[in-house]
Amino acid sequence: MKNRIRTLRADRGWTQADLAERLEVSRNSVNAIENGKYDPSLPLAFKISNLFGLPIEQIFQKD
């Protein structure tokens, strides 16, 4: 699944570690999601959506 997390994170000046802390996940999880190696669970996708203030559909897109 493609996503815009890296761009959204960079726009806010956050590191992967910063985002991981806000989402209560590991930095490795953030890295894997950003690189498309891991699709987040639905609860985590909603948490990401709420954090960035965007609908899920504007963050995640089907390949």
Q: What is the pLDDT of residues 3-54, one digit of tens each?
A: 999 999 999 999 999 999 999 999 999 999 999 999 999 999 999 999 999 9
pLDDT tier for residue 63 given thresholds of 50, 70 and 90: confident
Query: CA 58, CA 8: separation in Å to the nearest integer?
Result: 11
Its pTM stands at: 0.92
> Looking at the domain that runs over 2-54, which CATH code has it been given?
1.10.260.40
Domain ranges of the chain: 2-54
| Residue among 63, 52, 56 nearest 7 (CA) | 52
